[in-house]
Homo-oligomer: A and B are copies of this chain.
Amino acid sequence: MDGLEADAAVETEYDVLHAIVRRRRSTRRFLPTPVPRPLVEKVLEVARLSPSAANSQPWEFVVVTDVEMRQRIARASVSLFHDARKKDPTFEWNISVQPFLYQAPVLIIILGDRRLLPSYPSVLRGNVLLRQSLAICAYGLQLAAASLGLGTAWGTLQGGPGEVEIRRLLGVPEHFTIDHLVPLGYADEVEGSRAAALWAARERGHVRRPLEGIVHWERFDPSKSRSSEEVEQFIWSATVTRVSKKGAAPH
């Protein structure tokens, strides 16, 4: 293999990764089509290989296909929102994944074993390292799903009564956190593109700031600095969770 061929091969791997990363989207409407178990295992295999603080590998997975259990878990995770809706009325609750967790044929619950905390240096906040490791694992899982043409979403849970209830439902020991709930299945593109409640996620979910605006060479470049007003405007015009009424879809 000469140098040119080698370069071409390297370029191709990057291009494949780039395409997978672009394809990965939060899927909020799923087809009922089952996902064969070997595919689920392939997805988990990539998650298993994720890096983690200290190589602690704090993750374990519960894979739920039983529809009644999926519904119970979705209900428990939504309990988080009961009070929150009142306290945070400007939040765009429509994009929350939790109420729809049961719709995908497979629901993957990512457990984080807190007993691995002593593997981290005591000078750092172990809880953050644990949760960062679990997020990395969830991202790897999502990329693997996207590479197989499968859709995922990301339901976040941070303790609270929902976590206690889901642990009870699945028989999970108390030393595990439940940070991430990832539904897995084939995207229902028709429903996803039709659902009025999802317009903000649809319009905004795939938009990213241009590279030029976020890369500073050698030193922070003040000419690229956003003012606090610009950041606030970004939050209300570009994130999927804060949507001003003026910006609402016409339908």
Contacts and interface: CB of A to CB of B under 8 A. Distances in A.
User: What are the 3 tightest A-B residue pairs by CB atom distance, in nearest-first order?
Assistant: A84-B123, A132-B135, A54-B241
A82 to B, nearest CB: 10
A125 to B, nearest CB: 6
Contact of A62 (B144, B219, B231): B219
Interface string A3-33: 0000000101110111111101010000000
Interface residues of A, number: 105
B158 A115 contact: no
A41 interface: yes
A205 interface: yes
Nearest to A64: B218
B131 A132 contact: yes
A147 interface: yes
Contact of A128 (B59, B116, B158): B158
A87 interface: yes
Contact of A54 (B45, B142, B240): B240
Contact of A135 (B122, B135, B149, B220): B135
B211 A45 contact: yes
Contacts of A173: 220, 225
Interface in A193-238: 204-205, 207-209, 211, 214-220, 222, 224-226, 228, 231-232, 234-235, 238
